[in-house]
Every structure is written in structure tokens, then in C-alpha cells.
Structure 1
């Protein structure tokens, strides 16, 4: 409302024309026009005009209020092939007409469908079994504003809503896990943690093909983990959590299917003979090799701290000597990158496995403290979206970490890069990278015990493997927190990178999980815009402030990376930008958790995939013009320029819908 358009002369009119012939003829339209007087008028000055829609007078002798938002809207849908608005000054007006904003909505005819019947039957049965009260009444997903607590639904105009996420943690659930959960065939996130559930884990849960997150922590479950779930965990399609179930058997051998044990029994006699022979051969080879050269053995070793407060550390990974590092890196011949710790070199192990060797520089400002911190974190965490450590070196003054090689480099490099045709990283790939990175951070916050704050989330610390799968790296600044509310931890060492640091953490020196959320919000904005965290031209400005200014005006295309060349679903982009703005709220309490971010990004990816990758131009078919015969002037409070028609996203959560 702070900007408006007006002709220079009172005799000129304002006209907007929008061609609608390319749209279905049966569509109805509703419009809203926004008015606000921005100038303090002199006593005898008068701004009064008539409003015409398609040459029919709809409102006469209108005068906009001074510095107060006012609007005119259609109460019923109308059908036209061409939408035309005219604002004409009255005979008694001394000033030309003015308009601050205009919106045109297409009313899409559709029959409101109830939630998928199978989902309704399943969740209703679950409600009855556990005697859930809360607001679980009526349709689970309809209306959207009254969706049942703990449920997240997916909505499609052409299909009934389906239940995607079920969060029943801290609900006081008793008894066994209902088999009806397996009838929610489209559920992706199922959280049953922190209840009083007993009995075994039903194998039927492994039949939910869409399930990617299952939290059974802090219950009283017993028995073994079904083989179907174990297989999903092993192939990386499921994030399974089951800590603090004292009677639950988590031994891999006892968690196999009964027929697996039967087959093992059949072959055990033959296997024993074969194993004995192989062991004897291995021992002979081992002794022979020991005579020829020194070898590396996987074993536990203690690394003591340098007085910075870190306790002794036990590493189960392979320990390399400095001479071995020289061998596997070809005398440190190929540099992959450089950071505060030192250089990172490419290496190749005896079995041809490619690795990255992060060698601490003697001049590095990150010493034993950061080395121990990163080594400690990497030995504790295991997740498909976190870089894995293969081994380490602490050989005299030489220190190094050896971890899996990520051939596609950093996300920062990919955002800045473009191909020969001028195209950058495709939008769908950016969304996938964002989701995978968020899953890695979410694991650090919720899947680790104690949880971990990364403290240096940025595009340079997100690496991509050969399949462009994202993994979080660089844990040298990470801190574990064990406070009761699991939200923050005191530290007297400031960490982070300019442009990504949470202002609350910068002010208080107390990092929290929401500090990582803030930094990840900056990463999301970089993915959307293709710009760095700090923009330099024409003057230095944080990407957050820059994006908020444009999005406040509804200018989503103004921030989208032009190198994507329109190959994106505008709804998914809007939603992603909105997630980024929520993540970068000044108050940590107003930011979402990483679990919520993961769920929201999954919805963004669903939107993008639902569009079929058409790359539809959101402005296609729109031709907005203003009477070009009028003059143009500009001052500090009003922009009297040719009208630039933009379309906002058809969703309630966009910044443009907030007035």
C-alpha cells in the first residue's frame, strides 16, 4: 500500500486490461482493488473518481482515505473474455485517480471431496482403539483449517485428500501398536514416541511403501525389530528410531525372519568348515604381510584433549599413519578444497575406494580442539545425509580426518555454476538437495543422543555425491547439548560464517537448534535465488533482507534464479521461499523445527512433481496494460510509473497475502 499509480493530469484516466481468452470459458472471476491516499491534500484539493468494470459503472464518486487501506471488491463471481478496469476522475475532482493494488482471482469449480475412505477408516479405528479425544471429530482433513491435531494432509484438486504425516507423540497411548497404522498407505512420517506402548512392533508397518520416518522411541516395546523395517533402514529408505525401549531386542541376528534362521541352520555345518579354512589362510597371509611392511589395523584408540574441556575420545575407525596418507593421496598431489582446518586432498585406498583427506595445517587457527570435536561427532553419527568418516590420523604433529569422497563438490559451487546454455542447477534438483540437507540436520537435532548443533550450516558445508545426493559436512564447530529442554547450550566460543549466523546467537552466545534452522533458511534462499548469502551490488545487503523486500511486494519472480529459465512450479517456489522466511525469523521461538522443515519441503517436492515438471510460466496468458498516453512522474511517496502486473501465488501462506 506504500506505492501507487496515478496519471500526471486530472484529465487522464487509469485503465487496466487483461486478456482472459486463453482461460476456460466457464471460469468465474472475483477482483479486489486497493486504495489509499498517500498525499496530504490541501484544503481545496479533491480526489474523486468513478470505477468502471468492462464499461459498466460499479462505484461512483469514490474518494480514497488518507493513509488508511480501503478496497472495492466483487461479491459474486463474474464471467468475461476480457477484464477491463477504468478509473475516471469526476467533473469536480482536482486530482487524477489513484490505485495502490489490484488482484484478480479465478474461481475454480470443484466438488469438495472428503478424505480418502481407506485413510478415514484407518484413522477412525486408531482413534477408537486409543480413545483419542482432542479435536478428532468429523472429516480428518476437511476443512483444511480444522484438520485433526497431529495430522498433516496432502490436498489435490482432482483427488481426495490423503493423510501424509501422523504425530501421536506424548499422547499417553497404551497397549500395542495398532495394525490399522499399516492401512494408512500414503503416510510418510509416523511418530509414536514418548507413549506407553507395549508388545512387539508389527511387521505390517514395513508394508507402508511411502513410510520414510518412524519414531517409536521412549515406549515399552519388546520383541525384535521386524526384518522388513531393518531392510528399509539398510537401503536408506527409512529413518527408524527406537531408543529407550528397554525390552526391545536390537541385535541384528535376533531380528531376522524365522525362515532366515532356518536357512542359517541348514548351512551352518558347511559354513563352519569353510570359515576355519579361511581363517587359517588369513592368519598365514597376515603374518607374511607383517614381515614385509607395516599395515593399518582397525582398532580402538584414545585421543586425549588439549585442555579445552573435551573428554578422552574413543575412535573405532581406521587409524592411518602420516606415511600412509602420503601414499593414498599420491604425496598430497590433488587439492579438493581448503577451509579453516586446512587443505582437503583426494585419496584412493588399497581397494580403490576414493576418499577425501582433511589435513590440518600447522598454521590453522583450528587446532586439536576442533579436530577432536569433528572426530567425535563423526564417530557417533550415521545417516545417509551426513558425510561418513572412514578414519583419522594423529601421528605426532600430523592430524587428519579421512572421510568419504563427494565427487560433485559443494552446493555453493553448484549454485554459482551454469552449463553452456546458461542454465543452472534445475529447480527440482535444488528442492531434492534442500530436503536431503534438512533430513541430515533433523537427524542431528532429534536422532542423536545427546543431540548436536552443527553451528556452521552453509552451502559450502553441504556436499554432493556422484548422484547429486546431499550430505552435511564439516562438524568441527559442532556442540552436543544435554539441557533439559534440548534447546540450547552455553558456549564461550563464537562460531559460524558471516551471513548465516543467527542474530540471537550472535547477541547471547547461546546457540540452539534454532540457530541451525536460521542458517538453513539462508541456504534455502540461496537455492531459490542463486545468489550468495551477502549481496554486494549495488551495496552490501543480507540475502534475507533483500528477499523480504521483494516478497513483501509479491514479486516472487524477482527473486527466482533466472538461470532456471522458468523450469519450476511457482507454487513450490513460493512455499520454499515462505519456509525460508519462517526459518530466518528474528525470534527463535517463531522458527520451525527441522522436523517441521523436512515435512514442509517434502510438500514442496510433491507440488513440483505434481506439476509434471512443466516449467509453466505463471504469467502466461496475462497482458496487463495501462493507458500509455498519460505522463509519468515520481516522488518519494508515490511511484507514478507504467503499471507492472504481477501474479501472486494461489496459496494463503504467501507473503503477498499478508496485509
Structure 2
């Protein structure tokens, strides 16, 4: 996407560099909140209409001379999206060799940081999963849009959490827009994404569909359940998807969940959740569930968990 075209179409989102510099205290190291594929992200307070709002400012690292396409892709996609579980774009800066994307601030950081957090209860984990599922459903089927969006970068680092632990999907730099009636068609693509999340069918078909996102989301579901990352470089069970499949094919569930949350779980909620997550990481794309089914099943799992907690509260 050419920057001149983008600037014309998206000019209402432009923010002066001076404002972003002021908001982040001149991109001070103390304000660094993460490092992504495009560069460093900074927290800050941006003045808009007389009020200060908390922001995240992703500053494109120009050392390699790359990232231009990804920069405009992220802005173009986010500018068309409006959903409570997707980060909101506030604006961007393209000035004096600086390119910065400004979005809403997620106070708790990435989900990846909290996978082993014993204070993140099972009900909250279910709510996070449901939030991401609703975000993906919005990407694929939103009324009023002629196209869907294939994210291509679903992982526990691109799922952010706000101060209320609500999920905010981010990381749209390599996403693809696809006409709604072509969402099931394979889009030829270079292998892309983090190790441990990649759709195994990619190696056979050399391309992606929205079902590739569903595979990645299934891996995230198991990360949340097991309290561990999708890939551990030096671990005995390096790939989480292979690890859980080995246990589930033997019908052993109680060895894969995160011990710190085991006692909180409704058995029926857990059963629905595991069956769903397992179906998402099916090697065959055609046998993976669609997003409507995923949202429905996660709503059921959450409802059963809430019922259990209400009963426990009643008799405690």
C-alpha cells in the first residue's frame, strides 16, 4: 500500500509528531512497554480536546529500512474496525522519517505475561477467550463490511489485556483483507507467524484461510488452560499442540491443565472447553469449527463456570 494513497484516505487520523514526542516524553526508555516486529512500543499520555488519554505508541524501527507495508496495513485495517475486543486506533504519525501508530493503552500488557499468573482465575481466563473469539467473529463476519480480515498473527503476545482484564486483539501488521464470499479460499502466502502457532496445513497447501487463525486460536486456548507457552525452546515437550494431543488422545485431561486453577473449575465447563480447543487444532482445516460455533461453546463454558461459582458462594 503506497503511503501517499494511505495519507489521503486516512488523513483524519494523522497526529503531529510533536504531540507524540510530548506524550511519550521523547520516546523515553522508561516508557517502553514492549517490542514487536515493527519496533518498540511506548506508553504515554496524549492531549486530545483538552483531556489526556492513555496511549500506546508503536514506533517503526527504520534501521533495516523495512516495515513500510506492515505499517500501512496495520493502520488501514484498524481504521475500519470498531469492536470492544479489538484495540482502537487513535491515529498515526508519518513525519520527519518517523512512523508511529497510536492506539489505546492496554494496562495489563500481553496475555503471554499472565499465562502462569495464579491470580488470573479460570472464570477470567474464559472471559478472555470469549473476548478474543468475539473479536475474530467480528473480523470474519461483521455486518456492513464487504470483506473479512484474516489476522495471521494470533498468539498470546498479540492479545492484550486492559485494566479490567478484558481482551484487546492487536498485531494486524500482516493481516489480509478478503471478500466475504472468498473467505474459505486459500491465499498463497510465505510461511509467517510465531513458532508453535502455525497451521500445519500450510506446509501442504502453501497458503492460509481464516481457518489458519482458528488453529492459532486453538493453541492460545491451550496456553490459557495449561499456563505455558505454545513453544518452549529447550523443553522436553517443546510444542504445546503436540503435548496436549498426546494426552487427549489417551483421554487424559488432568495432566494438562494449570494446577493453580484446577480446583476452581466446573467439570462440565472444562469438558466443553477442552473439546472445543482440541477441535480448533485439528490438522485438517475442514474439521475445525467456525467462529460462530466457537463463540457459542465458550459462552456455554463460561455460563457453567459462573453457575458453579454461584453455588459454591451460596453454600460457603
Q: TM-score, normalised by structure 2?
A: 0.90
**From 148, 169, 173, the counterpart of 1:451:** 148
Partner of 2:71: 371
Equivalent residues in 2 for 1:103-118, closer than 5 Å: none
Partner of 1:117: none
CA contact (8 A) 2:196 2:231 kept: yes
Distance (whole Å) between structure 2 residues aligned to residue 468 and residue 324 of structure 1: 29
Partner of 1:426: 121
Distance (whole Å) between structure 2 residues aligned to residue 504 and residue 339 of structure 1: 26
Equivalent residues in 2 for 1:603-622, closer than 5 Å: 603-612=300-309
Distance change in 2, residues 1:316/1:595 (3 Å): farther
Stretches of structure 1 that go unaligned for 5 or more consecutive residues are: 1-301, 306-310, 617-659
Aligned residues: 305
Q: How far is the alpha carbon of 1:485 from its aligned partner?
A: 3.6
Deviation sequence 1:275-317 (CA, Å, 0-9, x none): xxxxxxxxxxxxxxxxxxxxxxxxxxx9337xxxxx8761154
Deviation sequence 1:346-386 (CA, Å, 0-9, x none): 11112111100000011357511001100100111111111
Partner of 2:194: 497
Q: How far is the alpha carbon of 1:573 from its aligned partner?
A: 1.4
Distance (whole Å) between structure 2 residues aligned to residue 318 and residue 304 of structure 1: 14
Give 1 or 2 for the bigger CA radius of gyration: 1
CA contact (8 A) 2:43 2:57 kept: yes
Stretches of structure 2 that go unaligned for 5 or more consecutive residues are: none
Distance (whole Å) between structure 2 residues aligned to residue 536 and residue 314 of structure 1: 43
Distance (whole Å) between structure 2 residues aligned to residue 556 and residue 537 of structure 1: 24
CA contact (8 A) 2:43 2:54 kept: yes
Deviation sequence 1:558-585 (CA, Å, 0-9, x none): 1110121511112211211111110010
Distance (whole Å) between structure 1 residues aligned to residue 212 and residue 287 of structure 2: 12
**From 21, 27, 31, the counterpart of 1:326:** 21
Distance (whole Å) between structure 2 residues aligned to residue 459 and residue 313 of structure 1: 34
CA contact (8 A) 1:456 1:477 kept: yes
Deviation sequence 1:499-536 (CA, Å, 0-9, x none): 10111124323211100100000000011111110245
CA contact (8 A) 1:336 1:346 kept: yes
Partner of 2:279: 582
Partner of 1:522: 219
Equivalent residues in 2 for 1:264-413, closer than 5 Å: 303-304=3-4, 314-315=9-10, 317-333=12-28, 334-350=31-47, 351-364=51-64, 366-413=66-113
Distance change in 2, residues 1:599/1:532 (3 Å): same
Aligned-residue RMSD, C-alpha: 2.1
Deviation sequence 1:143-188 (CA, Å, 0-9, x none): xxxxxxxxxxxxxxxxxxxxxxxxxxxxxxxxxxxxxxxxxxxxxx
CA contact (8 A) 1:313 1:376 kept: no
More displaced 10-residue stretch of structure 1: 426-435 or 348-357: 348-357
Distance (whole Å) between structure 2 residues aligned to residue 497 and residue 537 of structure 1: 16
Equivalent residues in 2 for 1:494-643, closer than 5 Å: 494-536=191-233, 538-612=235-309
Distance (whole Å) between structure 2 residues aligned to residue 328 and residue 438 of structure 1: 32
Deviation sequence 1:471-509 (CA, Å, 0-9, x none): 110100100112744213524433211110111124323
CA contact (8 A) 1:528 1:560 kept: yes
From the two aligned structures, give the one with the greater helix fraction.
2
SS at match of 1:343: strand
Higher RCO (Cα < 8 Å, 6 or more apart):
2
Partner of 1:130: none
SS at match of 1:407: coil
Q: TM-score, normalised by structure 1?
A: 0.44
Distance change in 2, residues 1:527/1:397 (3 Å): same
Distance (whole Å) between structure 1 residues aligned to residue 180 and residue 141 of structure 2: 14
